[in-house]
Every structure is written in C-alpha cells, then in structure tokens.
Amino acid sequence: MRERKTNKVLFVILLVLLFFSLIPLFLTFLTSVIPDGDLFHITQGKTFLDFEKGLMFQKAKMKVTGTKDYKQSDISNGNGKSLYFNPKSSERDIELVVFMLGKDINLINYIEFDIDINPGAKLRIGVKDMNDNTQYSEKAVSFEKEGWHKFRFNIDTSEFDKVDPKNTSQIILKFEFPEDVPNSFYIDEVFAKYHFPTFINFKTVWEENDFARYIFNSSLVSITVVLGNLIFCSMVAYAFARKQFRGKEVLFSIILSTMMIPPQVIVIPIFILMKNIGWIDTYQALIVPSLVTPFGIFFMRQYIEQLPLELDKAAFVDGATDWQIFTKIILPLSKPAMAVLGINSFIGVWNDLFMPLILVSKHEMWTVQVGLANFSQLNQVQWPSMMAASTIAGLPIIIVFLIFQKQIISGVVDGAVKY
C-alpha cells in the first residue's frame, strides 16, 4: 500500500521532470510555426495604424499621397480618434501608404480597417518591395455600405508577381473615387491578422537556403564518423581492456589528456596543418580527425572490461584468434554500448560548429550547423525562420536516436527486475 503511494509520487515527479525536459523541444517547434515573435512571444497580428497619437508619430508608420488635406479627427467608430480625409474635389485617387519595414506579406492572412466612406468608392491594393518595384492589383473592390463599418480584404500574393513579397516596404491602400462620388472619408484601426499556425517559415527557409545540401554534407560526415568510431574505438578499447602491455596506463592517460585540451587552443595549428595538406574545404578535414575519439575509447574500454572473461577464454582455448574473439564475442556483447557510442558520435559531429566554421568556407561544403549559425545577423535573430531551420536540422538526430535507442532500452527491460 505504502509502496504504491511512493510509486505514484515518483511517477508524478517523473512526469514533471519529463515535462520540463521537453519544453525546449516544444518551444523550438512552436516558434517555427508562428508568423512573428520569438520563443516567448507569439505575434498573431499587428495594428498598422491607429490614430490616437499625433500625426508626428504616424509619419514613422504611414504617408499619404494624392492629397494634402487630411488630419486627425475626433470622430471615430468607437472611442478615440480617426484619420479624416477631405481632399479637393479634383483629387480622385488618394493613397494611404503603410510602411512594412521589410515584412513578408505571405504571412498576412487578411487586413482589416474601420472606414466611413461613400458607397461607390473603390479600393485597389498596391505592394512596393525593398527594391522600389511597385505593383497594383488588377481588380478594385467597391465599398457598398454607408457609415462606419469594418472592411476586410486578403492579399493574394500570386497577383503581385512583379514584386518581391518577402521583402516589402509598403502596402498601398489606393482609394479611387469615380466622378460622381464625394471623396471625403474617415479611416481608423488598420489591422493585419497573420496566419497562425503557419508553415511558411519552413518553406522560406528551404527555398532560401540550400538545406538539402547542408543535410547531405552533415550526413556524409556524421555517418562516416559514426562508423569509424564504432569500429576503431572498439578495436583500441579491446586492446586496453583485454591485453596487458608495457606503458598501457601511460598511453591511456595520453588519450585522456587529448580530451582535456580545449579546442580553442589547438584550432590554429589544426588549421595550419589542414592548409598544408590541402584539406581546407574538404570532407576529409571534418571526418578523419574524428574517426577515433578519446571519448569512444574510454567509454568502450570500461564497457568491455565489464564483460565476463570466461567467454574469451573459452574461445581462445578453441583456437580463436584475437580478431575472431573481438568480432564474434566482444562486439555482439557490446551492442548497448555501441548504440550509445553511435548516438553520441552522431550528435557530437552533427552539432559541432566550431571546427566546420573554421575549416570550411565554400558554401557547398557548409554543414547544417554552419547554415544555422549564419541565420543570426548583426544584433538580431529572426526567431521563426531560425527555429524552422533548427527543426529541420534536428530531425535527423531524432531519427538516428530512435534507430539506436532500441538497443539501449529494450535490453534494459530484459535485464531488469520485474516487481
């Protein structure tokens, strides 16, 4: 009874711990599908214009062309203020230009505003990109209602094929007044609703970066290194675990020592070395030095040492060579350790940033992590695209983990006590 209660408590603790462990994964994925914001802010929409503040502050957000006769007005849909246009009767085309600061308009679901305009007036949408190309929509929509009402429209980016919709500097609301329609109007609360959740970030990241190539590079390097580690580290570890020779512990200490030197101090000599053998910008440079790692040797050694010696001895008596003992007995028994070593080497190489950044320059040689690192710009990070890229970069690791983990987890269950 009491045991069951402690079990329950432990189970809850586990759940809570698991929850906290998974938060970063969850945040990474969540942020990759938001239209704007960062890990802790989901921006689902934005008020482009609201006329509560004086016209001075509007100049950072909008401008008007086609007339000079407009002002802040106390009349509005609800409380507060609106913008009142009272142009000369000759001014029939009035443009309200909203500054977009480089926003991707693919993210906008719809734009909405409050308006009081004479029926018969028309609205045409224009988009201007960062390179000063402007394009207006083919069709204009007519206003039909009298008095204050909300008006909503969608931006169909396929209509704007002559501008770059990913990098817009302006959205232009062009109000067109036919001859017989009076051209004064009020407008307020221009609001954009973004798509949420959205997969546009993935699309943009995939289109603008050569992630297929980065993943290929990283996979090639990682898989080779994993294979190398599995074979070579086990070999070296076998010698340390099963053989006696002079200077064994000194040699092992040297291996350990190489783990203890921070990579920051050996990066220059490694670069010089790679340059002299002409390996800068090659796969070899990223693969060969990691084929045997001190971690792998150390880890496999302690694991093999724990395997029962009797099996080796029996095989030896039967006339097996060392290589046969190693491949037929030690390796099969070391599966769980090999699985951990495999996961560990894969993650280590896949996530390594320092060496690839130094040893690789050419774009076609970039690894996934180099690609990711180049997402940060001076003092600013585009979180949604960066997290979409991180998700793409993280998926292969999760797949590899799921492949290897069976070896670790299923084995434990077999060997464990069943209460």
Partner 1 sequence: MTYKNKQKWVIFLFLSPWLIIFAIFGAYPIIYSFITSLTDYSGLNPSMNFVGLDNYIRAFQDEVFLKALTNTIIFVIGTIPFTLGIALFLAILLNNKIPLQNLFKSGFFLPSVISMVVISTMWIYIYSSSGLVNTILKSIGVTVQDRSWLARPESALISIMIMDVWAAFGYYLLLFFAGLQNIPAQLYEAARIDGASKTQIAFKITIPMLKPTLFFVIALNTIRSFQIFSEIYTMTGGGPSNSTQTIVHYLYQTSFRKFQMGYGSAMAYILLAIILLITLVQKRMLRSDFV
Partner 2 sequence: MWKKVLVVFLVVALLATAGMAKTKLNFWSFMLTEDAANNIIADFEAANPDIEVEYVQLSWANGFDKIVTAIAANAAPDVVELGNTWVANFASEGAIMNMNYLKEKAGETIVGWPSTEYMGDYYAYPWLLGTRAMFYNIDLMEQVGLDPENPPTTWAELMDAVQKIDALGNGIYGIGLCSGEPYSPWQQWFLPAAWGNYGKTLSADMKTATFNSPQMKDTGKFYQELSNHALMTKEADMAAVFGEGKLGFFIGGVYQVATFSANYPDLNYFSAFVPKPSEFTGTHASFAGGEVLAIPTQCKNVEAAEKLINYLVMPDVAMSITKQVPSIFPSNTLASQDPWFEDHIIHQIFFEQNAFAVPTPPHPKWTDIQVEISKAVEKIILEKADVDTVFDSANEAIQKIID
Binding residues for partner 2, per CB under 8 A?
Answer: 36-38, 41, 43, 45-47, 53-54, 56-57, 59-60, 63, 97, 99, 101-102, 130-132, 167, 169-170, 208, 267-268, 271-272, 275, 280, 353-354, 357-358, 361-363, 370, 373-374, 376-380, 383
Length of the chain in terms of residues written: 419
Q: Catalogue the E-assigned strands of 137-293.
A: 141-142, 149-153, 168-176, 185-194
Least distance (Å) between residue 219 CB and partner 1: 15
Least distance to partner 2, CB of residue 5, Å: 43
When CB distances are held under 5 to 8 angstroms depending on the partner's kind, the choice from partner 2, partner 1, none that residue 45 binds is partner 2
Neighbours of 93 (CB within 10 A): 15
Rounded least distance, CB 382 to partner 1, Å: 13
CB of 241 to partner 1, least distance (A): 10
- For partner 1, which is the closer residue by CB, 153 or 283? 283
Considering the complex, state which of residue 136 and residue 232 has its C-beta at the smaller distance from partner 1: 232
Give the one entry of partner 2, partner 1, none that residue 361 binds, where binding means its C-beta sits below a cut-off of 5 to 8 angstroms depending on kind. partner 2
The option from partner 2, partner 1, none interacting with 398 (CB < 5 to 8 A, set by class) reads partner 1
Given partner 1, partner 2, none, residue 130, with its beta carbon under 5 to 8 Å by kind, binds: partner 2
Nearer to partner 1, 384 or 394 (CB): 394
Q: Sign of the C-alpha dihedral, residues 179, 182, 187, 193?
A: negative
**CB 340 → partner 2: shortest distance, Å?**
28
Under a CB-based contact definition with an 8 Å cutoff, are residues 103 and 76 in contact? no
Pairing of strands 134-136, 185-194: unpaired
77 binds, among partner 1, partner 2, none (CB under 5 to 8 A by kind): none
Helix (H) or strand (E) holding 277: none
- Residue (220 or 239) nearer to partner 1, CB: 239
Give min distance, CB of 336 to partner 1, in A: 4
Dist. CA 356–CA 370, nearest whole Å: 7
Specify the residue for token string 């080796």: 312
CB of 377 to partner 2, least distance (A): 5
Closest to partner 2 by CB, 105 vs 340, is 105
> Nearer Cβ to partner 1, position 33 or 339?
339
Inter-CA distances, 37 with 48, 275, 279, 366, 381, Å:
16, 42, 41, 28, 10
Closest CA to 389 of 223, 207, 219, 194: 207
Residue 126 vs 336, nearer CB to partner 2: 126
Dihedral sign, Cα of residue 323, residue 328, residue 333, residue 336:
positive
Helix (H, G, I), strand (E, B) or coil at 378: coil
Nearer to partner 1, 215 or 340 (CB): 340
From the list partner 1, partner 2, none, pick the one residue 235 interacts with, judged by a Cβ distance below 5 to 8 Å according to partner type. partner 1
User: With CB cut-offs between 5 and 8 Å by kind, which of partner 1, partner 2, none does residue 79 bind?
Assistant: none
Contact assessment for residue 36 and residue 43, using Cβ atoms and an 8 Å cutoff: yes
Q: How far apart are CB 344 and partner 1 at their closest, in Å?
A: 8
Nearby residues of 168 by Cβ (< 8 Å), 6 or more positions away: 100, 102, 103, 104, 105, 127, 128, 129, 130
* Binding partner at 149 among partner 2, partner 1, none, C-beta below 5 to 8 Å by kind: none
Give Cα 373 to chain centroid, integer Å.
Answer: 10
**Owner of token pair 């490694």:** 270
The long-range contacts involving 68-74, CB below 8 angstroms and separated by at least 24 positions, are 73/186
With CB under 5 to 8 Å by kind, the binding choice for 374 among partner 1, partner 2, none is partner 2
Pick the closer one to partner 2 by CB: 271 or 316.
271
Instruction: Report d(CA 68, CA 62) in Å as an integer.
Output: 14
Amino acid found at 229: N
Least distance CB 380 / partner 2 (angstroms): 5
Pairing of strands 168-176, 70-73: unpaired
